[in-house]
Amino acid sequence: MNKTDLVNNISEKNGLAKKEVEAVLNGFLGEITEALAKGDKVQLIGFGTFETRKRSGRTGRNPQTGEAIEISESTVPAFKAGNKLKEAVN
């Protein structure tokens, strides 16, 4: 399912205009992105938690040449599923 499918499904199930649903979805995703950029955690009880994690620097290999390269430390987004989401999927 992609973003368009998600907007269409929510619109049909709730009788809302697609533009309204898309605006709310964009706002929701924007707020999560801003919070993660600040280093905050976004916790949606029952669904899951969005957070950032530090990935330490390491030595990697260029697959074409086999040459060793240094990969710098970075911050990456992460998602941990909540119990209700895990139960729904199983």
Both 33 and 62 in a single domain? no
The Cα 55–Cα 78 span in angstroms is: 11
What pLDDT, on a 0 to 100 scale, did the predictor assign at position 51?
97
Both 46 and 88 in a single domain? yes
What is the mean predicted confidence (pLDDT) over 8-28? 96
Range(s) of the domain holding residue 57: 41-90
Total domains in the chain come to: 2
Both 52 and 89 in a single domain? yes
Instruction: Decide: residue 63, CB within 10 A, 0-12 exposed, 13-18 middle, 19+ buried.
Output: exposed
SS3 at position 28: helix
Both 57 and 17 in a single domain? no
Both 30 and 56 in a single domain? no
pLDDT tens for 37-61 read 999 999 999 999 999 999 999 999 9
Grade residue 71 by pLDDT with cuts at 50, 70 and 90: very high
Both 11 and 22 in a single domain? yes
Both 27 and 56 in a single domain? no
Percentage, residues of the chain above pLDDT 70: 100
**For position 60, which CATH number holds?**
4.10.520.10
DSSP per position, the chain: --HHHHHHHHHHHHT--HHHHHHHHHHHHHHHHHHHHTT--EEETTTEEEEEEEE--EEEE-TTT--EEEE--EEEEEEEE-HHHHHHH-
What pLDDT, on a 0 to 100 scale, did the predictor assign at position 81?
96
What pLDDT, on a 0 to 100 scale, did the predictor assign at position 41?
97
What pLDDT, on a 0 to 100 scale, did the predictor assign at position 79?
97
